[in-house]
Each structure stands twice: as C-alpha cells, then as structure tokens.
Structure 1
Amino acid sequence: MPSRIRPAKLSLFDFFTGRNTAALNADQMDARELHEHLLTIGGADPRTKSGLNLRTAAGLIGVSRRTLERYLSGDRHPAPAVADKIRVASRKIAGLEPGIHDQREVTSLLETVAGRSDTTKSGINIKEAARRLKVSEGTVRRWVNQGKVPNEATAAKLRASARRMTNTKRGRQAATRQIRDSGMFNQPMRIDVIANQGPRGYGQGDYKRDRRTYFDLSADEAQDFQQAYIDGGDQAAQAYAEQMLSRRYVDDWQIDDFNVIDGGFTMRPR
C-alpha cells in the first residue's frame, strides 16, 4: 500500500496549467541552483562538507539527507518532480510564493484572464487584461514584452481572476493552452497524488488517510485526463483520478480535501 505522508490539498488548476508541477520545466536542476535552494531551505552549517544544513533541508523537502548529498556530488540528479518540490519549498521559505517570478506564468495567467489577440506582439489581449486587473495597458505590455512581473498584490489578483475564469469550459481551454501546446500530455505520464485518500469504508470505518499514491497513463489516457478537466472542471478531473487510483490500488478509491489553491498533484513523463 502507499506510504504515509503529510497532508496536502490538490490543485488541478495549477496541475493542468503547468504551474506547481515539473511538467513545463523538466530540465535537470544543476548543482548551482540546487545549492542555492538548499541554502534557502535548510540554512548554512559550516560543520558539513557542503556548508549546508542538509538534515533540516531533507526533512522539509521529504527526501533523505543522503539523497541530497548524492545530488550535490553529481552522483544523481533530482527527478523533475523532486526538483519541482525543491523549488516550491525554496520559494515558500523565502516568502516569495504570493508573487509571480516566472515570465511563462505571467503570460499563461494573462491569456486565461483576458484571452488572445491577433493584433498584439505577445498574442495577449492587452486592453482586456488592463481592464480586468485595473492597471494601465503600458503596465501589461511591460509584463509581456519586457520580462517584468506584477507586484505581490497584483499577482494575487491575477491568480484569483484566472481561477474564476476556470469556472467555464472556455476559461479552462484558455488556461490549459500553453501546456497543451507543449505536447506534455501527448506521451505516457506518471501522476503522483499527495492527499487524504483511500477506499470508501461503507460503514466499516474510514480507510482514508494522508498518503502518497501514483497512477500511470498512456498517451491517450493522459489526453483524456486533461480533456476531462477542460470539459467538466475540477470534479470531472477528480473523478478520473479516483477511477485510475481504484484500478491501481483498491476499488472505490476516494480523494478528500479537493481544492484549487494548494499543491497535491505532480506529473512527469513515464
């Protein structure tokens, strides 16, 4: 059976739009980036060979200290899902999570909120984005053309607006355009789920608990999974995931604490 882990909520919005996952950033994490993140997460320790407090970092990331040592030595490289966990943990500890620090995310969120336009260099409907976010068109152009990012308050407003847009099929199509265009779901995938989950008890007690589980998808199934989200939103995608987990583990598998804000899903090519 799957292992016990700390609880987390699920985020299909982030999952299917390539945010809070390793899906669109599957490059190997180099030693320099890894060292910077581990310094942020665990702090310094001059008594260790690496100069890092790897014991603390390992506990916060959810891997062993020995694994981090092997990453730093070059013996192994973090898998995309692990690299993503390290980046997310580093951003949260650094207090950066509320803001947006990735130009790709800015573009994707703006497209979700404002739609596309054939008359702009970026392909984003600049005028509509400015209207919805109550900022100037010049500000939006700086975000999409000059690599600038919104301040923390505007970033929160942009994310909230994008999530509201995913209440419609049209909004979900816009939100998932970038990851669909990347072809990530055109190949076999492995999906990891971290949540309160388990088989239904049917009056004999609740078998759900905090677990880490996974299921594999063929290329066709991966596209079906994404299409389920586009057609029916969070509930449809959750039902699809529960169906796949029921096949992988025990019949009538259920996922609790379903939410579109926090983490819970990661994906990687199989």
Structure 2
Amino acid sequence: MKTFRLPPWATGLIGGTALIAFWWVSALTVFSNTGAGANRAIPTPPEVIMGFADSGFEFYWRNFSVTLVEAAQGYLWGNGLALLLAALVLVVPRLEGAVMQLAIITYCVPIVAIGPLALIIIGAPSPGEPSGTAVFLAALSVFFTTVVGSLLGLKAADPASLDVVTVYGGTRLTQLVKVRIIAALPHILTALQIAVPAAFLGAVLGEFLGKVELGVGPAMIAAQQGLDAPRVWGIALVCGAVALLGFALVGLVARAVAPWSRGRST
C-alpha cells in the first residue's frame, strides 16, 4: 500500500501556520496581561506587521546593510583562517594539538567577556562604518565549527588513494591537493553553511558591545529602550529570516559544487 506524503513545502507551510497561530493565541491569552498595543511584551502578528509598515523598508535596509557587511567580513576572515590552519595541520601533523587548542579556546571563551577587550584594542568605528569589534566576533563565532568540520573531512580521505599518491612519490601536500580536499569538500561545505547564522549572530553581538550608531544591535537597543515591542519582534524576525536565507543559499551552492554529498552529514 502506497503511503501519502506531503511535499516539503506543504509541511513547512503547515508548520509555519501552526506556529503563527500559537503565537497569536498566546499573545491574546497567556500574555494578554503584559500590556496593550505597542506596550505589549508579546505583540500579535498584526501588531508586528503594523510595526514593519511604520518603520518602513529604509529603516531595515539602513541597519541590516551595515550588519551584513560586518558578518560577511567576519565570515570570510574566520573561515579563511580556519581552512588555512586545517590544511596546515595535514601538512605538518605536529601542529594539530595547538590548532585544536586554539579552536577550543575561541569556542569556550564567552563573547561577552572578550567583546569589551576587542573594543578596547580595535577601537570604536567611525560613524556609518562597519564595527571592527563586530567583524572580529563574527570571525570568532565561525572559527571552531569550520576548523573541526574541515579536519574531520580532510582525515576522512580514502587510505588507498593516499597510498597511491605516496607510492608515486607524492608528499603530504600532494595528498592534500589531490585527494584530501576533494574528499573533505562535503564536510567543509556543511561547516561553511552552519557558519552563516553564527557569523550574523556574532556581528549583532559585536554591535551591542561596539559603540556603533547604525546596525541591528543599536536598532534593537533603541527599540527596547523605547518599549517598542513590535519593532523589537520585527527586528528579531528579520534577523532570523536573513540567517535562514544565508543558510539556504550556501546550501544551494554546496549542492551545486558537490552534488554527490546530498544527504551526507558531518
């Protein structure tokens, strides 16, 4: 007997509708005593939509464009350094311990603790310019995941293929270029995909600490201080949408670059 399955888009639509309905009912019942209108801690979906209309596209573009630049720069720096060190470990195996210790330290140190230090060292940005602190924290947020994912992939190469390279006089560098990178490509692309929302979150946290005038962080702070709950929720929802869109775009690139890796997890 053939079983009926909903297509992925239908499942997502049903899940999204149920989530919005739960949010709406909760705002009108459980959290109805937290205020009314813009002062309600949990606004209803129509109130958030009205907040979008009141703020306008220009408000969101002005702030999100700055944060996206910071997240993109941190994404490139953090992932680039992580990939370089992972490749270096395969060429010089003795460095693996030091690289892994560095990656673990960057993952374990609280961002709220290292953020103020980064601000003192890097300094506050000029008005309208990307925050160096936000770029640094975005890079820090992606470093650990990419290092670990890349090393796991690079070490997953077929031993027989590595032996063939060795027999023909190849070095560890030759193995890396000819065999390991190709074998690790699905793992690396998965790590880069996971790094997208991490970089965006790191940039937003950097703006909270980085004394910037424009960006998602200061916009969120201003909305919170003004008790504008619909705008706070609107900014949060756009942040989630941007992170999800970036995650999906890198996933599409991964499928195009390494189509054989579909369904494979790190």
TM-score by length of 1: 0.22
1 or 2 for the larger relative contact order (CA 8 Å, sep ≥6)?
A: 1
Larger Rg: 2
Higher helix share: 2
TM-score by length of 2: 0.22
